[in-house]
Amino acid sequence: MGSAASFALAGGVPSALGYADAPSPLRGRYLTHVSVVRVNQIEVTPTRSIGDDEAADNSPDHIRSRREAFERGCPDGKMTWAISWLALKDDRQQYKDARRLLASYHDRYGDEITFIPGGYFAPMYDTREHNQQTIHKALGLITQMVGDGYRPQSLVAGFMDAASQHYLATEEGIHVCQGQIWSQHGIDHGDGDGGICYPYYPSREHYLKPAQGKADFIDCVCLDGWTCDFLTARREGFTGGFNSRLGVGPIESVGNLGTGAGRREMMDTTAVHFDRGYTLNGFGWVTAIWETSIGHDADLTNWLQATKARWPDTQVLSEGEFGLKWREHTPNNTRLNYRFDQRGTGAPGSEKDLEIEWFMNQEFRLALLRNWKASTPYMVIDFTRYDLHAKEPVSLQREWSLVNVVNQKGTRPQDEPVRLGKLSAEDQHRIYARYPELRKLA
């Protein structure tokens, strides 16, 4: 849309709103990489695991190979290591050596060493109270492991409920949590669609809902775990035979498409944020969590080298460092106004003739889809309101999404794509108040 760039004033904030006393918006291009060291594939609780024993693929040699690959790609960068409960507690020599190696990476490179509870799915498999107890114990073990009173600046969690993010901020002094996997639904062991893919402060009501004010504000920057192709991400699981998680992750890209096509998709997805997204938002951020056990070290080197060559100003930071930098510039959610505009890359599920536009702010998120080659009308495929009351599950279950008006996954009858003008008058008013240029698309 031609008016998109003209609206992106002061970091995507309408100047009429005025924020004279607020810090300047964050600028720049940022990349964060997390590597996971574990024993079992998915350690859902300290005493229960799902999947394969991966000890052989988490050896010191594998860890060393990953760090060397990262350094070849970005010699001055910092990365985050997320270590599981069993990997913290395992008495085998392999894991004793692995823990010493990770501690040395903090000393030598400034890498962040932190904990991953629940194998990405802590709230799906254990209570909030038990998870918080485990987090407290694990952080103590990491302090002992690294030494000198070390504390990580972030927690890597995959999914993390609002109460536990509040606990991190108020009890553990940690103000950054990789706490959601954006748009994941119908894959792995947890569903969590409905949130914002860039940093935000979560609400006390629901981890995917941006806090609406002081009363429900959690002072913990919630970060996405994987940057995905927006067109493939609109799908439910593997609908149509496509992988909805395709993007910068090597399993979905290189693993499924081969080296050439997979690496192209990784760079095309990165470009969505570092080219057009950078113009619209004033900053761009790309992130991914790679398990040490999966290998793909050469793909990590290639991605980092290609990214730095194309966008030399890219800062490669640890998870906590990036989150705290955003927090420095962003005291609350009032200025959130993320814009994304992507045409299909041509990869499976990312149709070249389609274009998707995302609008994400404190009040709602909105996605519009069209066939740009055929000049078809823009259709609403997602409209999620954040002003409405939201509630997280009380019992243990895999479904942790935030879904209301229209959802991009299309799993309900009301999720059928619709023209803007067919939304309720109240919803149209809410959208046009923020984005008046969208009236012409009704």
CATH number of residue 357's parent domain: 3.30.1120.110
For residue 369, the cross-strand partners are 356, 379
**Same domain (yes/no): 58, 150:** yes
* Cα 270 versus chain centre, distance: 13
> Sorting pLDDT into bands at 50, 70 and 90, what band is 333?
very high
- Residues 23 and 331 sit within 8 Å (Cβ to Cβ): yes
Query: Rounded to whole angstroms, what are the CA distances from 77 to 80, 81, 225, 266, 322?
Result: 10, 13, 18, 19, 12
State pLDDT tens for residues 377-414: 999 999 999 999 999 999 999 999 999 999 999 999 99
- Residues 285 and 30 sit within 8 Å (Cβ to Cβ): yes
Would residue 14 count as lying in a domain?
no
Q: Which of 112, 192, 196, 195 is nearest to 156 (CA)?
A: 112
User: Phi and psi of 286, rounded to 5°?
Assistant: -130, 140
Domain boundary among the residues 286, 310, 329 is at: 329
Domain boundary among the residues 329, 357, 372 is at: 329
Span 412-421, average pLDDT: 97
State pLDDT tens for residues 169-227: 999 999 999 999 999 999 999 999 999 999 999 999 999 999 999 999 999 999 999 99
pLDDT surpasses 50 at 16 = no
Q: 363 burial class (0-12, 13-18, 19+ CB within 10 angstroms)?
A: middle
pLDDT surpasses 60 at 278 = yes
> Sorting pLDDT into bands at 50, 70 and 90, what band is 4?
very low
Could you tell me the pTM of the whole model? Answer: 0.94
Distance of alpha carbon 166 from alpha carbon 171, whole angstroms:
8
**Same domain (yes/no): 257, 348:** no
Q: Identify how many contiguous H helices and E strands the chain contains and give both numbers.
A: 14, 14
**Same domain (yes/no): 108, 81:** yes
Would residue 20 count as lying in a domain?
no
Distance of alpha carbon 438 from alpha carbon 442, whole angstroms:
7
> Sorting pLDDT into bands at 50, 70 and 90, what band is 22?
confident
**Same domain (yes/no): 346, 325:** no
pLDDT given at position 442: 84
- Residues 377 and 357 sit within 8 Å (Cβ to Cβ): no
In which domain, by residue range, is 424 found? 336-441
Q: Which of 5, 73, 90 is nearest to 33 (CA)?
A: 73
CATH number of residue 268's parent domain: 3.20.20.510
Looking at the structure of the chain, the number of domains it has is: 2
Domain boundary among the residues 314, 329, 344 is at: 329
**How many of the other CB atoms lie within 10 Å of CB of 394?**
8
pLDDT surpasses 50 at 435 = yes
Q: Which of 152, 191, 157 is nearest to 173 (CA)?
A: 152
**Same domain (yes/no): 118, 76:** yes
**Same domain (yes/no): 313, 379:** no
Distance of alpha carbon 327 from alpha carbon 221, whole angstroms:
7
pLDDT surpasses 90 at 14 = no
DSSP-assigned letter for residue 180: E
Would residue 21 count as lying in a domain?
no
Query: Rounded to whole angstroms, what are the CA distances from 81 to 34, 253, 270, 291, 421?
Result: 6, 22, 22, 10, 47
Would residue 17 count as lying in a domain?
no
- Residues 135 and 91 sit within 8 Å (Cβ to Cβ): no
Q: Helices 259-271 and 297-310: crossing angle, nearest 10°?
A: 40
pLDDT given at position 279: 98
Segment 352-358 long-range contacts (CB within 8 Å, at least 24 positions apart):
354/231, 356/230, 356/231, 356/234, 356/381, 357/1, 357/4, 358/197, 358/230
Would residue 313 count as lying in a domain?
yes
The upper half-sphere exposure of residue 346, i.e. CA atoms within 13 Å in the direction of its Cβ, equals 5
**Same domain (yes/no): 318, 346:** no
**Same domain (yes/no): 75, 168:** yes
